[in-house]
Amino acid sequence: MTRKFAVIAATIASVTLTLTGLALAADDSPLAKQMEAINKKNNAIRKATKSATAWKKDGKTVAADAREIAKIGKEAKKDKSASETAKKPHAEWEKLSDAMIKAADELAVLADKAGTTQPQAKDAFNAVAKSCTECHNVFRVDEDK
């Protein structure tokens, strides 16, 4: 490797590191972290409610995961960053947060009941998923996602 090439390679490597660092920092807002945690629980519930077999096997994990979504949602409800970025009233943020919290609480109650069937659980999960989309449509303004 010539010296010149080595310098160029080192420069590219350091620029890449800087860009990666910036991307990580941008994603590291408390709200983004809360959303990632909510998303994990949401994916687990989607999986556990997608078929009768999955429900039979993993249905027992759903109530706790749904409660966790509601809990994180209550924290995120206080975060003013998204309403400031979107220049929208914080009351609208709180309303959309409450819709998710309510849907997640309803799913938790249903999932705790002994006789709840997979289609019932899936319907309740769909209501949670809808509450995510409804808020993202209004507040998730970063166009690269």
- Footprint of ligand HEC on this chain (CB under 6 A)? 27, 29, 31-32, 35-36, 38-39, 42, 69, 82, 93, 96-97, 100, 128, 131-132, 135-136, 139-140, 142
Give the span between the Cα atoms of 86 and 109, in whole angstroms. Answer: 33
Q: Which is nearer to ligand HEC, 14 or 137 (CB)?
A: 137
Contact 93, 111 (CB under 8 A): no
Q: Specify the residue, 124 or 132, whose C-beta has the smaller distance to ligand HEC.
A: 132
To ligand HEC, the closest distance from the beta carbon of 108 in angstroms equals 13
How many Å is the maximal CA-CA distance in the chain?
Answer: 72
Nearer residue to ligand HEC within complex by CB, 9 or 66: 66
Using alpha carbons only, give the angle 110, 114, 120 rounded to the nearest 5 degrees: 40
Nearest-approach distance from CB 139 to ligand HEC, in angstroms: 4
Residues in the chain: 145
The CB-of-59 to ligand HEC minimum distance in angstroms stands at: 18
Q: From the CB of 10, what's the least distance to ligand HEC, in Å?
A: 30
If the CB atoms of residues 1 and 24 are measured against ligand HEC, the closer one turns out to be 24
Instruction: For residues 93 and 14, give the distance between their C-alpha atoms in angstroms, rounded to a whole number.
Output: 39
Closest listed residue to residue 138, CA positions, set 97, 105, 78: 97
